[in-house]
Chains A and B, each alone.
Chain A
Amino acid sequence: MVIIGAIVSWRLIRVDHGPSSEVELIEAPTHSFKTATLPFTTPLPATTTTHVNNEIDEIKKEYQEVAYSLAQKIDKSDLEVTLLNDWASKLNREEFLQKLPTEIREGYENLEKIILKVRDRHLKEDGMTESFFTKYKIEMPEWLQKRRQELEAYSLPSDVAAVVSTKASENEITDNDVANILRGCGKQNNNCIEKAFALLIDANHALNNDQLKKIQEYL
């Protein structure tokens, strides 16, 4: 029974280990191990401060040369700095670069190449790797999406709708506002209660724990 229990109680999620799944453990020397391939930033090598400073100085020097060269190109062109700031802050990288004449675009691309080196230095300093740079994404669980869609089909009573509409634009939802909406909807009128407060959440209001508890009592 114990054996069966052990088998059924383990949910194994299998991914192939691939070749060379075992590494030999020996005390010394270490050169016999397979050299690891490192597709990401390696940690700071054991170098001296002078070595690091020289490396930083090199990057700075390269950066300054590229920056001055780009500045001269921009200055000779008809491009206004205010417009460049505006484009750079509004558009994504590709859209921004597409707006520029070839020679100036190349200047920006050269600048970015050096900034990548600066970025790598920062990652090394922080003991971090590029894998940290995963784009942040949010998933709304399916049941929440479904419930929110159901509520779309429901129409709030006019008095509650009026309160919600006014409060949505104000900067705070007070306990009195919560009580007012609950009274307007009535006990166990879940569609009304959930739609009214979902609309306020959509307007970036946040309900505190006491308010959520009070609402829960009405559902």
Chain B
Amino acid sequence: MKFMTMFAFCLFLFGCKTSIDTRLTILETGAFVVRTAEDGILSVPKAEMAADLVIDGKKPEKSYITLHLRKGTKKYRPEIPVRLPKLDVLLGSNDPIRLDAKELGQDFGIMLMREIRPGKDLFTMTFHDSEFNSTIGKMVFEYEPSKVLFDAKKNEFLASYQAVKRKQRAAVIRINGDVDSMLALPKKFGWVEETLDHIVNYGGMVLISPWAYARYANVSWIMGDDNKSTEQTDEKWKTVAKEYPVIDYFAFVHSGDQRIYSNGTSERMTMETIGLKKNQLRLVYTGACSSGSGTEWLKGYASAGAGGQRGTSASPIFQFSVLKKWVYGFNFEDTVVKTWTSAVRKVRAVEWISFAKFWEDKTGVLMWRNVDDMLHDSEILISYTKELPASNLRINQSAVLKNVATDENIVERAVNEIIAERNGELLVEE
């Protein structure tokens, strides 16, 4: 009894800490500069070293990483404080977790991936610069998270059951065109054009696959001619709608092909004919020219968010990046802002003449007078409802269940407008 009291007291006094032994690999000397618990600055050398990830059970924001270093012959164990989420949230999530520098209280970001295995799961924690533009290092460890993610005693079977079921999300990915500019083919062999289109589409699918399967329990592909000829498109949509509670739709296609028609080209399919529930379609993004902000998906299919292009768009330069950033865990607004900022930087760095030549080779025609014209026409537009702003919409989240897609409730934004607002620029009232 005495021991039990003492144990409880000690537990109260110290909280419960979990220390996980890991190995940390730093890729470049001078890249991993951290703030230590003593408020010192430490530049961690390029090496593979032992480290302890210590997660404070009571105050997870007081967690830290201890490095096994030595100064000369003496042991040196600097502690790097990191504000982490609770243990079960951090190591119990099926989704990769991204922790920004601000959240961590350091000048680096972390991404944590979990590979579910029999017994202990394998975790890979990668360290990045604060903008997530480069990888600084990685830490690998094994851990067996608690099996019970929900409290059965609270009698919350339905809420828990729904929460787990809704993690079974799916993506429909439609490809008919150049997904990525690196896989574009010049149109100089007209005699095999149809075959080359197939190869480009196949290549796009191979390229996208690892990103898609990393975050979706199922991916349904619709490729090339499938867009226009058979009933398979209908069947694919119906199957996905029947089997998965949360669906995202990405269409890397030409103008108009993003829409869902029964028998390929006849009547446009409705929520009812597909069998979609009101809360099921979550995000729609298409690189199709003149697809606009995608309000048709909110109004007609009750999606929570949508995005598309203003006009004749150079989508292969950036559309794949939208999918990548979304699966990396950025919210939808950050996804399009980061994609667009990087695309503009890239396009402006390339001399217009060489870009124009590349585009003419690829498509046989150049649609823009200059780089500004191209950027204007290619601008990403997004839409969402007031209940769930794009800044709150993320891949690991369920769609908002009570959204009302009326004209007054839908917000439409152009990516340049969001960037200007973030930069504190003055905008002219329309």
Contacts and interface: CB of A to CB of B under 8 A. Distances in A.
B106 interface: no
Contact of B15 (A9, A134, A201): A9
B59 interface: no
Contacts of A203: 277
Given A85-B225, A201-B162, A137 B46 contact: no
A142 B20 CA distance: 25
B126 A129 contact: yes
Contacts of A161: none
A43 B48 contact: no
B183 A118 contact: yes
Interface residues of A, number: 102
Contact of B27 (A43, A64, A147): A43
Contacts, number: 326
Q: Count chain A CB atoms within 10 A of each CB in B45, B76, B328 and give the residue with the most.
A: B45
A23 B70 contact: yes
Given A85-B224, A127-B129, A198-B161, A141 B21 contact: no
Interface string A1-41: 11011101111111111101111111000100110111011
B221 A142 contact: no
A56 interface: yes
A4 to B, nearest CB: 7
Contact of A15 (B134, B142, B168): B142
A22 B45 contact: no
B23 A127 contact: no
B359 interface: no
A171 B217 CA distance: 22
Nearest to B69: A25
B244 to A, nearest CB: 7
Interface string B366-383: 000000000000000000
Contacts of B213: 133, 135-136
Contacts of A158: none
A102 interface: no
B182 A60 contact: yes
Interface string A197-216: 11001111111110010011
Contacts of A23: 45, 47-49, 67-70
B182 A63 contact: yes
Interface string A67-108: 110111011000001101110111000000000000000001
Nearest to B75: A22
A132 interface: yes
Interface stretch (B107-115, B249-257, B412-420, B421-429): B107-115
Contacts of B16: 9-11
B167 interface: yes
A170 to B, nearest CB: 8
Interface residues of B, number: 133
Contact of B161 (A49, A169, A201): A201
Contacts of A17: 21, 23, 50, 68
A219 interface: yes
B199 interface: yes
A26 B69 CA distance: 10
A111 interface: yes
A49 B345 CA distance: 13
A219 B14 CA distance: 38
B21 A16 contact: yes
A34 B48 contact: yes
A42 interface: yes
Contacts of A41: 135
Interface string B204-225: 0111001101111100011111
Contacts of A142: 147-148
B113 A206 contact: no
B46 A36 contact: yes
A141 B160 contact: yes
A18 B141 CA distance: 13
B20 A128 contact: no
Interface of A: 1-2, 4-6, 8-18, 20-26, 30, 33-34, 36-38, 40-44, 49, 56, 59-60, 63-64, 67-68, 70-72, 74-75, 81-82, 84-86, 88-90, 108, 111-112, 115, 118-119, 121-122, 126-129, 131-144, 147-148, 169, 171-172, 194, 197-198, 201-209, 212, 215-216, 219
Given A74-B192, A136-B217, A169-B275, 12 more contacts: A5-B7, A8-B7, A11-B16, A56-B182, A63-B182, A68-B196, A132-B214, A135-B214, A136-B216, A144-B157, A144-B164, A197-B158
10 contacts: A17-B68, A22-B49, A25-B71, A71-B189, A111-B206, A147-B152, A169-B275, A194-B157, A198-B161, A206-B245
Interface of B: 6-7, 9-11, 13-23, 25-29, 31, 45-50, 67-72, 75-76, 94-96, 111, 113-116, 124, 126, 128-129, 132-136, 138, 141-143, 147-150, 152, 155-162, 164-168, 180, 182-183, 185-186, 189, 191-192, 194-203, 205-207, 210-211, 213-217, 221-226, 229-230, 232, 241-242, 244-245, 271-272, 275-280, 302, 320, 324, 328, 349, 398-399, 401-402
Chain A to chain B: the 10 pairs with minimum beta-carbon distance, closest first: A5-B10, A21-B50, A17-B50, A208-B401, A89-B221, A131-B124, A23-B49, A85-B224, A127-B134, A25-B69
